Amino acid sequence: MEALFAPSVHISTSPTSHHKTPFTKSRVSFSHLKFPVLPMFLTLGKTTSKSHSFTTKSSSSAVSAEEEPETAKKEEKFEWYAQWYPVMPVCDLDKRVPHAKKVMGIDLVVWWDRNESEWKVFDDSCPHRLAPLSEGRIDQWGRLQCSYHGWCFNGSGNCKLIPQAPPDGPPVHTSMKACVAAYPSTVQHDIVWFWPNTDPKHKDIITRKQPPFIPELDDPSFTKYMGNRDLPYGYDVLIENLLDPAHLPYAHYGLVTAPKPQVKSDREGGGPIDLSVNKLDSQGFFENQDRFGDTKFIAPCISYASSSPGDAPEKERKFMDVGPANWQKACFVPTKSDALVVGYRRWFNKYSGCQVDWKGKYCGALPPTSPREQLFDRYWSHVVNCRSCNAAYKGLNALEVILQVASVAFIGVAAASKQNANTMVAVAVVCFAGSRCLAHLIFKNFHYHDYNHAFR
């Protein structure tokens, strides 16, 4: 079964100081998450507002998930197709070509309309013979052209040319059936967003509802580093992981600097975390974290967290065995550090019925667990979609070839000329050794690098 793709964004911020002026740096990572997942995760700085906390059943030191499932009223149910979803950061989109993406199980093509100077998001299917428009091109007039039969579309999705239609015949290209579905789209925070509904009544949805606005992302005192990566994650398991700060010193030991607790329990730096969840409703909830700051979960996709993809597939299977609504029967979450996980599961169960509305695109069965080489793959999950990493990858590969050619050339020179032969051979050996070291570096950084927690 084909995986369903959806993007996510994760932003982490940390305050720094320079000449006594406060600044905050932010890191932004953008992921297309495989099998079924959802959009966007943002991490912001600490807020100072407080409110009455929403908590699970707990004593002063524990949180319990052993409660009856809550059911929301029909009018409170979360509307999955009445939200803005991020598609891709602008920095990794090439204006010269159309790009294929999949969000909420919907096949999309993202392309730059130079006539309107806007990014457009269309259904990735030509109305003629259903060929993917993402395999097409941008023609000399700035229209999206299907590479199968040359049909051309403008930024509104209207067909402007059918090459096979006689010029003196009826204008068949003006038929509504010749149009391609165009989704409302916009750019905010240097990210392309789209509204997953092509009904004409949503054409001006941007005037009534905008994507979540994060002021810090447009603040010049923030430095943004954007990237993207595909991860084999299910939506609910990923969000749960992002809302779990207690795993940082262990799952990301040596990779991520986690806040230090007042009482250090072990080498990694784990310790009690006093968390609470406030004002839970269909739009998410407010989080109060002691040393992690106050943040929000804005449904379905904005949260303050980090991710670690390694154990997700097996975890999803265990949840599927007991059923998403009975997740608490598979997990023991006795401490306050689990409050955000419990809060998210409550939101997911109460307002979404423990499932994402995939419109029939997902049957509920999990695909086979991928081998580690595929789970931790870097090239297809990130490099091919990242402009800077792709350029570095090509440059280093070219350098590797140059070193190999130089090695052969120096051997040839040494064989043809008896003068300085030893020096030429030595240089050839150095060039060859350099090419091998570079090949290892390329594979480790751009293809696959295994990770074993036991040796960290």
Domain boundaries, the chain: 85-217, 235-365, 380-446
H-helix or E-strand containing 287?
strand 284-289
173 pLDDT higher than 80: yes
Question: Using alpha carbons only, what angle is made at residue 114 by residues 110 and 120, rounded to the nearest 5 degrees?
Answer: 25
377 vs 9, which has greater pLDDT? 377
pTM of the model: 0.75
Q: What was the pLDDT predicted at 245?
A: 82
Please give the pLDDT value at position 258: 67
Write out the two tokens for 158: 């209207």
Task: Provide the greatest CA pair distance for the chain.
Answer: 89
Mean pLDDT, rounded, for 126-132: 96
The amino acid present at 160, given as its one-letter code, is K
Query: Burial of 81 by CB count in 10 Å (0-12 exposed, 13-18 middle, 19+ buried)?
Result: middle
Q: For the chain, give the mean pLDDT.
A: 78
Return the CATH fold of 85-217. Rieske Iron-sulfur Protein (2.102.10)
Query: CA-CA distance, 29 to 14, in Å (whole number)?
Result: 15
Give the confidence band of 358 by pLDDT, cuts at 50, 70, 90.
confident
**Spatial CB neighbours of 40, under 8 Å, sequence gap ≥ 6:** 7, 8, 9, 85, 86, 212, 301, 302
| Cα separations in angstroms, 136 against 164, 178, 279, 298, 381 | 17, 16, 47, 36, 22
31 pLDDT above the threshold of 60: no
Element (H, E) at 145: strand 144-145
Given this model, what pLDDT does residue 239 score?
Answer: 83
User: Please, what is the angle between helix 235-242 and helix 339-352, to 10°?
Assistant: 150
Buried residues in 409-436 as b, exposed as e (16+ CB within 10 A): ebbebbeeeeeeeeebeebbeebbebbe
pLDDT at 94 over 50: yes
CA distances from 207 to 112, 203, 210, 218, 406 (A): 22, 9, 7, 20, 60
Pairing verdict, β 222-225 and 21-34: parallel
Average pLDDT (77-95) is 92
Closest CA to 103 of 6, 231, 234, 238: 6
Q: Binning pLDDT at 50, 70 and 90, where does residue 235 land?
A: confident
Contacts of 169 (CB under 8 A, 6+ apart): none
* DSSP annotation of 63: -
Residue 432 has pLDDT above 50, yes or no: yes
- What span, in angstroms and rounded, lies between the C-alpha atoms of 228 and 385? 7
- The pLDDT score that the predictor gives to residue 338 is 81
Name the pLDDT band for 202 (thresholds 50, 70, 90): very high
- Percent of the chain whose predicted confidence (pLDDT) is above 70: 75
Average pLDDT over residues 291-311: 61
Confidence of residue 266 (pLDDT cuts 50, 70, 90): confident
More confident site: 410 or 354: 410
Mean pLDDT, to the nearest integer, of 58-64? 37
- The pLDDT assigned to 8 comes to 45
Q: For residue 104, what are its two tokens?
A: 């909420």
For residues 144 and 162, give the distance between their C-alpha atoms in angstroms, rounded to a whole number.
12
